[in-house]
Structure 1
Amino acid sequence: MERVADIFQELHRQVESLKRQAAKAERYKNFKAEIKELSLQLFAVKIKVSGAAKNYRAGTQEQTQKKTKWSTRYATFENQLSNSILK
């Protein structure tokens, strides 16, 4: 009878150990899923930021071209005005 009690006690200890291992495995599985979800979200944010940066660069380039155009026109008009005054 004592042997049966020892076996029962050992089995109970092993079952408890397996329960702890199963709980750890479940937490790991949940963490892994959360990491995957966060990685996908990060990838989406990187794509959005990349697109926004591209649009910003294009807008900046366009504004620089407009500024150059208007600076040239201003210089031309200023020269014409100076020439008109000198005549």
Structure 2
Amino acid sequence: MKPTPAGWPRLSSAVFYDSAAEAIPWLCKAFGFEVQLRVDGDDGSVVHSQLTYGEALIMVSEGGEGSARSASASRCAAPRAWAAPTRRA
């Protein structure tokens, strides 16, 4: 595998939430992400944000029911909490 170009994150992804304004602090507290950039819309929605974790970068914005993105983009369910299956003895 080729090395990552200088200045580029090793991971770059986007996630959409019904309320990114609520999800961003939760992601920071739960997983240790840091807010690098946040752009709020006139209505208080998060138009774009960038969260970092080490060399990783994720973009978080609104994508739920009634958002501008949901009308123009393909439908995407908001991420849900999940737990790894437990092993049975």
TM-score, L = length of structure 2: 0.14
Give the number of the structure with larger relative contact order, counting CA–CA contacts within 8 Å between residues 6 or more apart: 2
TM-score, L = length of structure 1: 0.14
Determine which structure has the larger helix proportion and give its number. 1
Determine which structure has the larger strand proportion and give its number. 2
Kindly name which structure, 1 or 2, has the bigger radius of gyration based on alpha carbons: 1
